[in-house]
């Protein structure tokens, strides 16, 4: 089964993809951070497609709604709402 994204080579991300690939091969994991909309998901999907093309195993994980529930406890609240003083 192929789960590769539509664009395995985002424009202008070659250096970042190379750094990500090195980090994954060196450490086995990497963390992509940044504000919303900068392309973290696109880069992660592109690297997954490249790894899959190299014949490496790509494991996709997705949280289940039940992962957030703890038996015997009430469901978690949404993020706290910050109030200005």
pLDDT at 80: 54
CA distance 17 to 42: 11
Residues 6+ apart with CB under 8 A from 49: 4, 5, 8
Number of domains in the chain: 1
Q: 10: domain range? A: 1-85
CA distance 12 to 68: 37
CA distance 80 to 77: 8
10-residue stretch averages of pLDDT, the chain, 85 residues long: 58 88 88 88 88 83 65 63 54
Only one residue has tokens 């490496």, namely 56
């Amino acid at each position: 089964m192929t789960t590769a994204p539509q664009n395995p080579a985002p424009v202008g991300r070659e250096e970042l993809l190379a750094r990500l690939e090195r980090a994954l091969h060196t450490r086995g994991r990497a963390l992509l951070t940044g504000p919303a909309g900068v392309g973290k998901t696109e880069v992660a999907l592109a690297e997954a497609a490249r790894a899959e093309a190299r014949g490496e195993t790509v494991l996709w994980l997705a949280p289940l709604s039940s992962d957030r529930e703890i038996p015997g406890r009430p469901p978690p609240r949404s993020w706290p709402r910050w109030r200005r003083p």
